[in-house]
Amino acid sequence: MSDTSEDKPFTQTDWRRLLRSLHEDPDRPGLRETPARVERAWEHWTSGYQQNPAEILKVFEDGAEQYNELIVVRGIPVYSHCEHHLAPFFGTATVGYVPNGRIVGLSKLTRLVDCFAKRLQVQERLTRQVADALMTHLQPIAVGVVVRCRHLCMESRGIRAIGEETVTSAMLGELLTNLGMRTELLSLERNR
Ligand SMILES: [Zn+2]
């Protein structure tokens, strides 16, 4: 690892070395700009480390005082990279919660998922971190998160069938004990 910059510990020289180790010529025209592009792309794909879930969830919307039913947001995009192969995994998340006087906008839930997805991850931990952050910062009565993703490290190597999804879930608060509520969330999640 280079010690020239704390912000960019992996330099363009390192990417060029990587290309060479893949039996490529980093100086051929098609690859000349690749180290710079890869560097920018990885800055984006790991930008979640610079985001703070507490900051994302600190603004509440008014009018939720009387609302104590399940709020479910489906189809939240997930673009992440597995920490075992640095390969993409992607899909969608469903986030459900029963508010305790505080609700947040849809864009906040999307940003929350993104803040944990744009890190090196395993899907199980990503799912759990989204649920834990909501529980900690929104203090709702219940939280349920279901994530469905395709993992290119598995599909491309023939370990999984093409298009096969990995499904993970995390239930907290009343969703742990209230079977009716959990069934409602899971059926909303499945029947998109
Ligand atoms: Zn992997």
Cα–ligand 1 centroid distance for 162 (angstroms): 15
Cα–ligand 1 centroid distance for 152 (angstroms): 7
Are residues 140 and 96 part of one domain? Answer: yes
Fill in the amino acid letter for 161. A
Are residues 91 and 31 part of one domain? Answer: no
Are residues 19 and 109 part of one domain? Answer: no
Task: Cite the DSSP H helix spans in 22-60.
Answer: 34-45, 53-56
Percentage of residues in the chain having pLDDT higher than 70 = 94
Domain contains 99: yes
For residue 151, pLDDT beyond 70: yes
- Whether 70 contacts 140, CB under 8 Å: no
Residues with CB under 5 A from ligand 1 (ion): 82, 84-85, 153
Domain contains 168: yes
Cα–ligand 1 centroid distance for 73 (angstroms): 27
Cα–ligand 1 centroid distance for 130 (angstroms): 20
pTM: 0.91
Cα–ligand 1 centroid distance for 89 (angstroms): 8
Cα–ligand 1 centroid distance for 120 (angstroms): 10
For residue 1, pLDDT beyond 60: no
Domain contains 131: yes
Specify the pLDDT at position 191.
84
CA angle in degrees (0–180, nearest 5) for 23-79-148:
115
- Render pLDDT for 88-129 as a digit per residue (tens, 0 to 9): 999 999 999 999 988 898 899 999 999 999 999 999 999 999
Specify the pLDDT at position 7.
60
- Whether 73 contacts 188, CB under 8 Å: no
Are residues 57 and 149 part of one domain? Answer: yes
Are residues 181 and 120 part of one domain? Answer: yes
Specify the pLDDT at position 106.
85
Domain contains 1: no
Report how many helices (DSSP H) and strands (DSSP E) the chain contains, helices first: 7, 5
Euclidean distance between CA atoms 115 and 171, whole angstroms: 20
- Render pLDDT for 62-94 as a digit per residue (tens, 0 to 9): 766 778 899 999 999 999 999 999 999 999 999
Are residues 79 and 26 part of one domain? Answer: no
Are residues 150 and 71 part of one domain? Answer: yes
Are residues 81 and 32 part of one domain? Answer: no
* CATH code, 60: 3.30.1130.10
Domain contains 140: yes
Are residues 70 and 32 part of one domain? Answer: no
Cα–ligand 1 centroid distance for 12 (angstroms): 24
Return the higher-pLDDT residue of 141 and 12.
141
Q: Number of folded domains in the chain?
A: 2
Range of the domain at 26: 12-45
- Whether 79 contacts 90, CB under 8 Å: yes
Are residues 60 and 35 part of one domain? Answer: no
Domain contains 3: no
Euclidean distance between CA atoms 147 and 168, whole angstroms: 5
Cα–ligand 1 centroid distance for 103 (angstroms): 35
Cα–ligand 1 centroid distance for 75 (angstroms): 23
Specify the pLDDT at position 60.
73
Specify the pLDDT at position 12.
83
Domain contains 124: yes
The C-alpha torsion from 154 through 158 and 160 to 164, rounded to 10°, is 90
Are residues 184 and 90 part of one domain? Answer: yes
For residue 4, pLDDT beyond 60: no
- Render pLDDT for 155-188 as a digit per residue (tens, 0 to 9): 999 999 999 999 999 999 999 999 999 999 999 9
Specify the pLDDT at position 29.
97
Indicate the range of 13-27, 40-54, 55-69 predicted with least confidence: 55-69
